[in-house]
Structures are given as structure tokens and as C-alpha cells.
Structure 1
Amino acid sequence: MELLRKLYKVYSPSGKERAMIKLIWNYTKRITGTKVETDAAGNLYITKGEAESYPCIVAHLDQVQRLHSKDFLPIETGEIIFGYSSRNKRQEGLGADDKNGIWIALKCLEKYDTLKLAFFVSEEVGCVGSGKAVMDFFNDCRFVIQPDRRGYQDIINEIGWTSLCSPGFLQAAGYKKFGYKETRGMMTDVQELKERGLQVSCVNLSCGYYEPHTDHEFTIKKDLMNCLSLVEHIIENCTDTYPHQTEILDRRWRSYDEFDEAVDEIFALLDQGELWSVEDLYYMYHSVFPQLDMEDYRRIYTEYYNLNKIEYGEQKL
């Protein structure tokens, strides 16, 4: 966990990722056979080895949290890691969204002879880095994996009504052996890459962080390690190229801005302790958020109660 603790200690808010870039650059230089490049936006591109095709992992460099004291430390208690400032006697967010993804990428870089990585700036403020990414970098990639999803069991195959991957890739990935299940997700870099013309399958994976974007964020190490094991399994077993032509399933809205706003509103309502059904939520808010359908409200409702089970220790560890 030494590398993970180093990543957590680096404060990297959107637009100020220089310290994180420096850490990754210096860490990568010591790994034989790697080439590190950057672009005008500040994104990092890493290639290891020579191959006709490469597995590829991407993650983002920035975090949301504003609190990060000079004495900030990641604290490990059994299976859980959280951030804490002794001087201020308060919990502070780790930025595990998406430092967990960075950690997985770098661990795989150490292990495998051929691999590509891309690290993007300013994902949290609208996928700025991936929106300016050098797309030619991905021309010889077999698939693209982004570990950038809270929780422990989601494999995202669709974001914002944009399909991400082929059924053949999902079958080859063997995700069910690791307790994962297919679901839809929210805006992140792989969606941006697909909409900019990425021609291979990609997915976003839960990687063991919880309560992202808050100062109560924490990581469950077991879930992080399970994600790493799944990523390694995909790299070792998905040796073909998995082409996938982006299919825009519904272009009612390209981003999840309205969905995010609805999540905030509905979570605040449910926090008041009243018992509401999915149907109640739909009839209360459908005029406010007309682009959301009943399935969206069902997803928000389920996500809220799943998060509260985790908070009160009901998740099976």
C-alpha cells in the first residue's frame, strides 16, 4: 500500500494536477522499457514495450475535495483507508476518485511487459483532458479500461446512452467471476473517448472507493484489490482486439448534468427520513427534470439505499 498512500497524500484539484503528474512521471521513469509523453492539455501517455496491440488503462489525475491540510494522512484501520488531519481533528477526502484508478494502472505497468496508460487532467469539471486527448495514441489498443467507479461490483457498459463495448468483450472479460455486474454509469473519460471516435471496446469499473467527492470518502482495500485482480484477468485473457463502433442509444442529452442535479435533489429529500417510493419521486420531480424517465428514478433510488447500507456497515466485506 506504500504507493497508494503516496498517491493519497498528493493534493490534485482540477487544474492543479502538476504534483500528481510529477509523482507519476518520476515513478514511471524507474520502470524499464517505458516511454512517457505529454500533450498541450497536460495529459500523460505511457507506453511500455513493443507490440502490435496493447491493453490500455486510463484514469484521471484530479480530485474534487477542497480540504487537504498540511498534516493530512491516509489512515488504515483493518480493511478501510480514510484521510485525516490531526491538527484540525477532522476527516478529509482521499481523492480515491480516481487515485485508486491511478494505483491500479501503475501496478499493472510494473507487472506487464506491454501496456499503455493514459492519465487525464480535469475530468471532474467536464472531461476536459480526455476532450483534448491525442486519439492516435489509442489506434493500436485492444481495449480500454477505466477504474473510476465507486463501490465494488459495477462494470459500466453504457454511459449517457452511449454504448461502450461489444458483447464479445464482455464475455471474454469474465467479470462475473469477480462479482461484477453490468450497469449504466455516469460521465467519465471513456465516454468522451468513445464520442470522439475510439474504435475499441471500453468499460468503467468499480474500484473500491465510497462516498466520493466528500470529506468522508474512504477505500475498502479488499474491493480495490478485487478490481486490480479483474483488470489483470482482462489483460491476461483478452488478447484479441475488441472493435466496437459507438452507438448513440439516445441523444436526449449528451452529458449527465441534469442527472447529477437530480441525484443531489433526491438524495437531499431522502436524507430527511421520509418514506418515498420511486413512483413518488417521479411524480414530484418529472416536471423539474423532464429528460429523466422512470428507470432513471429507479437507479437514483437504488443507488441512494445502496450507499446508505455501506455507510451503516451493512455491506458484506
Structure 2
Amino acid sequence: MSNSDLDMLKAMLSHRRPYGSKTELAYIDRFITPLGVQADKFGNRFVIVGEEKPSILWSSHTDSVHREEGFQQIEMTGTKIHLPKKSKSNCLGADDAAGNFIMIKMIEAKVPGLYVFHFGEEVGCKGSGGIANETPEFLDGIKAAIAFDRRGFTSVITHQRGRTASDAFGDSLAAQLPDRFKNDPTGVLTDTKIYMGIVPECSNVSVGYENEHTKDETQCVQHLFQLRDHMIKIDASKFVIERDPKGVQSEPPKRSSWSGSSSGFGSTSRTLRTLQRMRQRDLEDLVFRYPRQVAAYLEEIKVSVQELDDAIWLSNSRARRESTLLDLFDDEGFHAA
């Protein structure tokens, strides 16, 4: 285990990086700007290594879900980095400093590709959404977009609430990673999902963090450094490209506007019936796709901004998240969702 790389990782994790905060920008200036990156109008930082027209996009994001900017103390027990017990921080931020670390090491090793350090992933994939919606030509020639933004130790994501990568591609990527890696269809959302209608293969790889978005978040250094050792030797010419992005089922038509009646997103009762049929991750995907309608619905049932903000930030553990958020809603049907 390289002491210099470990020191670098610890320094990265000492930064609390809320979207657009001074600390996130300081983090970018310290660790990413020296790589020779450019910035686009959406705040993404990117650099091309090797090929003039790369076919592989490597992805991670610079923001975290920290409640406050600034710096934090971290500790290491065995092979895992974590927050001290009395830390006032609400998360470690390995999501996605770990992905940034892998990409930095790949750039230093001159692994070919288009590297994008996305801006604003944690607040709705703003950076990748900007690229996909306003400058899709940025992705011309890209055959695979691979993110380093997945919890755990074994996943090569093939689905993000729908197929985003072929099994053949996943197998060809996993074959060059530690033996424990395998195809995983249980992904939800990261920046590469936003490119699924443009780029044939869109995946995500486990970087060894767990309990992300909570005070209990940890980062396994052993896993991350083993992944680093494989990624700096990766041969993208062995990737199998099969999926047709144009064959993706179209998203449901966007509703026009919220009316609270049968038009738009539907009546309150019908909306509740819809929500009842959804599990947690389906609901997350709905919120991502229809933020304005969801916000209007919350306003209609008189959930204030302050109430929602307080509930979100109090949800520092999975159990607490379930009880705190649902307590905002007194409709019996919603509790059954």
C-alpha cells in the first residue's frame, strides 16, 4: 500500500464538498486542476488522455452530500477509513472521492480515454444532464461510459432502473478486474445513466465505500487500491460493445404541469395510488425525472421547505431515514408505499 497514495486519499476525504461550495472548489483546485483539465459551462472538469477521439468515458463526481462545507477529521481502523465517533459531519464523502482517486491514478498512468469529473451529481446529475441535453456532441464517438461511483466490492452495473449496459460488456469489463467482480442489475442512478440514450454501454463499478450518505460511511482502502492496480492496466480494446442506445425504451411522456386534478401528474388520490405501488428506489427515480411535479405535490399537501430539509438532514442512518421522511406524511396510503 503506497503511503503517498494513502496520504492523498486521506487528504481528499478531509474535504466536505457540498455542491458548489468553496470547499468543493478548493478540492477541485488541489486534486483535479493539476491534471490539466478543462471546465465546461456546467462545471464539469474533463481531460482527454491518449486518443484524440476517445471511445471510452471514465466518470466520477466531485460533490458530496455533506451538510456543511469545510474540513473534517477522519480515522482509519484496519483497512477502513471512517469518521470519528464524535464527528459532527453527516458523511465521510467517499461517495465519490473514491471514484475521483481512481481516475486521478488512471490519468497519471496515461490510461487512454475521456475523463469527466462531473459537477452536481448529488443534486440531480446537473453536470451530466447539461452535457446530455445541451452538448450531446461532446459524447460523439464514445462507446462506453464507466463510472466509479458504486458501493460495495463486487458490482459491474448493467442496469440503472433499466438496462444501461449489455451483459457481454459487463463480462468483458469484469474479466479485467479482481475475481470478485460480476455483473449486477441492481443499480439505480449515477451520471452514466444520463447518457444511456446516447452511449451504447453505460456502467458503474464498486469502489469500496459502504453506508454512503450517512455518518456510518466507510471506505475500504484495500479494495480501492486493488481496483487502482487493475484500472491502471485496463485494456479497453477488449471491451465488448453490444447494446444499442437507440433501442432504449422511451421515457414516459413528460406531464405538462401540476394541476392537482386529472390533468398533469394526476389527482392527489391517483398519485398516492401510484406511490403505493413503488418501492424506495422507484420513488427516487420518479423524483429525479419529475422534480417540478413532485415539488408541487409536496407544496399541495403542505410540506414546507424547512420541514423537508430538516427531515433529510436528520436521516443519517437507514432506519432513521425511513421513519423521519415518512413521518412528514400523515396519509395512511402513503405509509403503505
* In 2, Cα distance between equivalents of 1:43 and 1:113: 20
Q: Does 1:268 align with 2:273?
A: no
Task: Name the CA shift for 1:240/1:140 in 2 (closer, same or farther; >3 Å).
Answer: farther
In the superposition, the TM-score normalised over structure 1's length comes to: 0.70
* In 2, Cα distance between equivalents of 1:192 and 1:50: 24
Deviation at 1:100, TM superposition (A): 0.4
Q: Which of 125, 130, 146 in structure 1 is aligned with 2:123?
A: 125
Q: Which of 283, 286, 289 in structure 2 is aligned with 1:258?
A: 283
Residues 16 and 68 in structure 2, CA contact (< 8 A), matched pair in contact too: no
Deviation at 1:122, TM superposition (A): 1.1
What fraction of aligned residue pairs are identical, expressed as a percent? 25
Structure with larger Rg? 2
Match in the other structure for 1:148: 149
* In 2, Cα distance between equivalents of 1:253 and 1:179: 40
Q: Which of 100, 103, 121 in structure 2 is aligned with 1:102?
A: 100
Amino acid in the other structure paired with 2:13: Y
Q: Which of 15, 21, 24 in structure 2 is aligned with 1:10?
A: 15
Which segments of 5 or more consecutive residues in structure 1 lack a partner in the other structure? 30-35, 273-283, 290-317
Match in the other structure for 1:314: none
1:1-317 paired onto structure 2 within 5 Å: 1-16=6-21, 17-29=24-36, 36-66=37-67, 70=71, 72-84=72-84, 89-90=86-87, 92=89, 93-133=91-131, 134-161=135-162, 163-175=163-175, 177-183=178-184, 184-195=186-197, 197-198=198-199, 200-232=200-232, 235-239=234-238, 242=241, 244-246=243-245, 247-248=247-248, 251=251, 256=281, 258-259=283-284, 268=319, 288-289=336-337
Task: Name the CA shift for 1:227/1:23 in 2 (closer, same or farther; >3 Å).
Answer: same
* In 1, Cα distance between equivalents of 2:126 and 2:82: 28
Cα RMSD after superposing both structures: 3.5
Q: How many residues align?
A: 262
Secondary structure at the residue paired with 1:56?
strand
Which segments of 5 or more consecutive residues in structure 2 lack a partner in the other structure? 1-5, 255-279, 288-314, 324-331
Task: Name the CA shift for 1:62/1:177 in 2 (closer, same or farther; >3 Å).
Answer: closer
Q: Which has the higher strand share?
A: 1
Deviation string for 1:251-310 (max 9, x for gaps)? 569995615799x8xx539999xxxxxxxxxxx989944xxxxxxxxxxxxxxxxxxxxx
Residues 178 and 226 in structure 1, CA contact (< 8 A), matched pair in contact too: no
Match in the other structure for 1:309: none
Deviation at 1:221, TM superposition (A): 1.2
Secondary structure at the residue paired with 1:97?
helix
Secondary structure at the residue paired with 1:109?
helix
Task: Name the CA shift for 1:141/1:79 in 2 (closer, same or farther; >3 Å).
Answer: same
Where does structure 1 differ by over 4 angstroms across 4 or more consecutive aligned residues?
67-70, 249-257, 259-262, 269-272, 284-288
